[in-house]
């Protein structure tokens, strides 16, 4: 079960990175952290419980440097979520030093003949207690290496807890600029993530200490429940992210630029009415102003008439981060970007079809003027919005 759960977590982590990195680039750090945790679990599964020397040889010592990256990636994710920034700082390279040092220590292992690795794996398979007898690292003894990994992760967990529970003065001043509902969701998620990591890490430290005092075989059998429970919890958390994607929006902090490159768009009374009817009634959300700018931009500039129009175009035109635009669409305008784009295109098509000046245009031409790539997509979208086809709509207008 441990193996399948870990593989599931890796797959979900990959999906998270692919579909969320543009909205919130900090999701990459979370995905990498969960993936490395899963690799860590898979390696331990084959080494501790495996009965195939081939797989033991594959995972024995080969991935240990990556285990020291779990803490930094989780820390980067937590810090980036709290600061609403995803770029690494100049001094962040220091966080990779332990992994680099460990890599240098195990470098000779990578050049060992495969037959020699397979022979060591066979011995460990027959007697798991021998796992502490082989020297896989030129710098650290086996037991020291086992201790360094969970202790380093523990340090990063404690630092991350401190960031979440003791926000900086700057963060406190700007907390009113963060949507409170999203703030609570993200804050609770960070605490749950770090608490789960803490429980898992303490369990692994206990296994390491017990292995040093007794022997690995007895320790593994004694704490097998911790391995399975931890893998199950992380898998559930990963799956939950697919059903509750708002967790991955982070904490958008609305700080309008002082010298906006795009001047405020003038709104007619009709535009103002559209904005009022489209936006959620709550005025406490600091992003309501940005949501109004999005609607005004759509109404005035008609960017949806471009066949390649995407959410990135809104971000660039308004000079706002992509995760801010995504937050406004999903939480204030209560719609998906694709749904909003389709609605605007269909409404514009209705406007063109109802104008006598456009009678000489074919339906295909009208579709392309509205941003649709083909007649079929136009028909499907039009009927989804109006419940009738474009031709039926034209006949209805003539009556």
The DSSP call for residue 113 is -
Q: What is the pLDDT along the chain (399 residues), one digit of tens a residue?
A: 555 556 666 666 666 655 555 556 788 898 888 888 888 878 877 887 788 899 899 988 888 899 999 999 999 999 988 887 888 998 999 999 999 999 999 998 899 999 999 999 999 888 888 887 777 788 888 788 888 999 999 999 999 999 999 877 677 777 766 777 777 888 888 998 899 889 888 888 888 888 778 877 777 777 777 767 776 776 677 666 666 666 666 666 655 544 343 444 444 444 444 545 555 444 567 788 888 999 999 999 999 999 999 999 998 999 887 878 888 888 888 899 999 999 999 999 999 988 888 788 888 999 999 999 999 999 999 999 999 999 898 888 876
Supply the angle between the helices 390-398 and 375-386 in degrees, to the nearest 10. 60
Helices (H) and strands (E) in the chain, counts: 20, 0
pTM: 0.71
The DSSP call for residue 265 is P
Supply the DSSP string of 317-356, one letter for each residue.
Answer: HHT--HHHHHHIIIIIS-S-HHHHHHHHHHHHHHHHHT-G
């Amino acid at each position: 079960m441990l193996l399948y759960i870990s593989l599931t977590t890796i797959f979900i982590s990959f999906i998270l990175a692919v579909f969320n990195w543009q909205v919130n680039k900090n999701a990459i750090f979370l995905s990498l952290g969960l993936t490395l945790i899963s690799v860590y679990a898979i390696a331990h599964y084959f080494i501790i419980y495996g009965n195939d020397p081939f797989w033991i040889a594959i995972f024995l010592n080969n991935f240990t440097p990556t285990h020291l990256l779990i803490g930094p990636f989780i820390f980067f994710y937590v810090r980036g979520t709290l600061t609403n920034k995803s770029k690494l700082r100049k001094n962040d390279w220091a966080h990779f030093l332990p992994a680099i040092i460990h890599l240098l220590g195990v470098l000779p292992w990578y050049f060992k003949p495969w037959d020699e690795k397979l022979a060591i794996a066979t011995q460990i398979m027959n007697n798991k207690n021998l796992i502490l007898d082989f020297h896989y690292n030129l710098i650290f003894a086996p037991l020291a290496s086992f201790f360094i990994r969970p202790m380093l992760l523990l340090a990063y967990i404690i630092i991350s807890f401190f960031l979440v529970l003791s926000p900086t003065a700057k963060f406190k001043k700007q907390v009113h600029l963060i949507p409170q509902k999203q703030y609570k969701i993200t804050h609770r998620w960070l605490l749950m993530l770090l608490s789960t990591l803490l429980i898992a890490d303490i369990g692994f430290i206990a296994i390491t200490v017990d292995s040093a005092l007794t022997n690995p075989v007895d320790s593994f059998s004694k704490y097998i429940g911790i391995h399975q429970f931890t893998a199950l919890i992380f898998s559930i958390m990963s799956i939950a992210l697919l059903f509750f994607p708002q967790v991955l929006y982070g904490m958008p902090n609305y700080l309008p630029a002082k010298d906006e490159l795009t001047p405020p768009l003038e709104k007619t009374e009709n535009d103002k009415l559209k904005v009022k009817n489209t936006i959620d009634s709550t005025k406490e959300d600091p992003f309501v102003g940005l949501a109004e700018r999005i609607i005004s931009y759509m109404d005035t500039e008609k960017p949806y008439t471009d066949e390649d129009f995407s959410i990135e175009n809104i971000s660039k035109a308004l000079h706002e981060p992509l995760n801010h635009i995504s937050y406004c669409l999903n939480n204030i305008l209560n719609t998906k970007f694709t749904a909003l784009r389709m609605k605007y295109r269909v409404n514009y098509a209705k406007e063109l079809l109802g104008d006598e000046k456009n009678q000489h245009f074919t339906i295909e031409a009208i579709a392309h003027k509205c941003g649709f790539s083909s007649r079929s997509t136009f028909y499907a979208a039009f009927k989804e919005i109006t419940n009738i086809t474009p031709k039926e709509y034209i006949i209805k207008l003539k009556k």
